[in-house]
Amino acid sequence: MISPPAPPSKLVRRRSRWVRLSANPDARSVQIAVIATVVVHLLLLWLAPRMESFVGRQDMSRTQTEADRTFELQLAPDAFAPPKPPPLKFVESNPNAPENIPDKTNNFAAQNQQVAQEKPAPDHKSDAPALKGDKDPDATAIVTGQMAEPTLAAQPAPKPAQTKTETPAEAAARKALIPLPGVEKIVGDNPEGIGSDLAKAAPNATAVPNQIEGDVNAKADKGATHGLYYTVDAAHPQQRPALAANVVKARQSPLKNSEFGTDNIGAVAYDAKWSSYGQYLQKFIDTVQVQWERILYQSNIYPTAGTKVTVVFRMNSDGKIYEIVKVEGPGGRAAQDACVSGITARDPYGLWTDDMISVLGKSQEFTFTFTYD
């Protein structure tokens, strides 16, 4: 009879519980590394709160120094950096002023101009002429006029002819000096012949001592050229047609108020440089002005003189007015609607140029102020 094997001792069983490592060396090294990692993390979790309280007690026991204080620092702008140039400003130039590129200016307009005025201001060096105008700081016009084509100046009425009363004897003597025609027509019997006119001396005819050009009592001659009649009066010649003096083809606008001027003498003008942006804005403003005046004329409604209406609107790079932001001003709804219609009735106003888009982006907000005079 075979007896069963003896049960293992307690010591052997106790060792078998702890021996869990693999017999493979590679697997055993991995197991040892995992166990070591777990043990290290457990130690860190146990020591972390104790280390923090220990460091805090050390800081409380140490005297505070200058290094422990905090400061707020503000970096000053670089004193050597060049200042930023001010933004460009649109101004309404004088179309009658000569073209002249200014030396240096922040103004741009529809044409090149150099500041000038009729009466110089020796001690002033402003970029705008001295003017007494509207107190509105947004006013930029330095001339006012009419948008229609300039008309011919009115011609002065001709002076009446000097007449002299003649006696019957003087009239008869004057007529005696005028030679009679004395023409006789001679025609022969042959129908194919050639006729002729012969002058026949009048009886008792005398030589004319002084030649008289025509009849002094004759009426003014009238002729025709291409269907247009003109009047010729040698005694009273007409003056040459001329444009009306001091007429500026510019919109009617309140003038800029400027106390300082320039020592340059000439037609009133700004310091301004041409740009396609300035040319676009000037044409845009002139178009709105003409349309606004046409609306007022057709509506037959006019607010009180001095009424001002401000319209804030947005335009995109296609020249389209796509939003009316704000309308302010007295005068009632009719006055405001006329201003808004003056802006929107003629849009779009044309595509923006590349330099306009580089400055303004794809859209821009504008503010127009309308003044009822």
Per residue in 289-324, pLDDT (tens digit) is: 999 989 988 887 778 888 899 999 999 999 999 999
Whether residue 24 is predicted with pLDDT greater than 70 in this model: the reply is yes
User: What does the alpha-carbon distance between residue 120 and residue 154 come to, in Å, rounded to a whole number?
Assistant: 32
pTM of the entire structure? 0.52
What tokens does 3 get?
């007896």
Q: Which amino acid is at 249?
A: K
DSSP state of 214: S
Average pLDDT of the residues of the chain:
74
Q: Give yes or no for a contact between 81 and 262, defined as CB atoms under 8 angstroms apart.
A: no
What tokens does 58 get?
């050390």
DSSP state of 250: S
Confidence of residue 149 (pLDDT cuts 50, 70, 90): low
User: What does the alpha-carbon distance between residue 28 and residue 20 come to, in Å, rounded to a whole number?
Assistant: 9
Of the listed ranges 115-119, 209-213, 328-332, the one predicted with least confidence:
209-213
Per-residue pLDDT at 226 = 46
Per-residue pLDDT at 225 = 47
Q: Give yes or no for a contact between 186 and 197, defined as CB atoms under 8 angstroms apart.
A: yes
Q: Give yes or no for a contact between 313 and 363, defined as CB atoms under 8 angstroms apart.
A: no
User: What does the alpha-carbon distance between residue 240 and residue 229 come to, in Å, rounded to a whole number?
Assistant: 17
Over range 77-96, report the average pLDDT. 68
Cβ-Cβ contacts under 8 Å for 296 (sequence gap 6 or more): 302, 338
User: What does the alpha-carbon distance between residue 175 and residue 172 come to, in Å, rounded to a whole number?
Assistant: 5
DSSP lists the bridge partners of residue 309 as 370
Of the listed ranges 23-32, 123-132, 349-358, the one predicted with least confidence:
23-32
- Here the contacts of 356-363 (C-beta below 8 Å, separation 24 or greater) are 356/276, 356/277, 356/280, 356/317, 357/317, 359/88, 359/277, 360/277, 360/317, 361/317, 362/316, 362/317, 363/314, 363/315, 363/316, 363/317, 363/322
Whether residue 260 is predicted with pLDDT greater than 50 in this model: the reply is yes
- Domains parsed from the chain with CATH numbers: 87-149+247-274 (no CATH), 276-373 (3.30.1150)
Whether residue 138 is predicted with pLDDT greater than 80 in this model: the reply is no
329-369 pLDDT tens trace: 887 888 999 999 999 999 999 999 888 888 888 999 999 99
193-208 pLDDT tens trace: 666 655 566 667 666 6
Q: Give yes or no for a contact between 252 and 146, defined as CB atoms under 8 angstroms apart.
A: yes
Per-residue pLDDT at 224 = 47
Per-residue pLDDT at 318 = 93
Cβ-Cβ contacts under 8 Å for 4 (sequence gap 6 or more): none
| CB neighbours of residue 280 within 10 Å | 19
Of the listed ranges 46-55, 76-85, 193-202, 338-347, the one predicted with least confidence:
76-85
Whether residue 160 is predicted with pLDDT greater than 80 in this model: the reply is no
Whether residue 35 is predicted with pLDDT greater than 90 in this model: the reply is no
DSSP lists the bridge partners of residue 224 as 229
What tokens does 116 get?
């000038």
User: What does the alpha-carbon distance between residue 344 and residue 322 come to, in Å, rounded to a whole number?
Assistant: 9
Over range 235-244, report the average pLDDT. 60
Among 280, 249, 262, 263, smallest CA distance to 110 is for 280
| Choice between 183 and 333, residue whose per-residue pLDDT is larger | 333
Per-residue pLDDT at 120 = 86
Per-residue pLDDT at 351 = 93
Over range 269-298, report the average pLDDT. 89
Confidence of residue 95 (pLDDT cuts 50, 70, 90): confident
Q: Give yes or no for a contact between 109 and 92, defined as CB atoms under 8 angstroms apart.
A: yes
| Choice between 163 and 146, residue whose per-residue pLDDT is larger | 146
Per-residue pLDDT at 77 = 55
User: What does the alpha-carbon distance between residue 115 and residue 105 come to, in Å, rounded to a whole number?
Assistant: 10
Cβ-Cβ contacts under 8 Å for 318 (sequence gap 6 or more): 348, 351, 352
Look at residue 117 and give its three-state secondary structure. Answer: strand
| Helix extents (H) in 201-326 | 276-299
Q: What share of the chain has pLDDT > 90, as a percent? A: 15
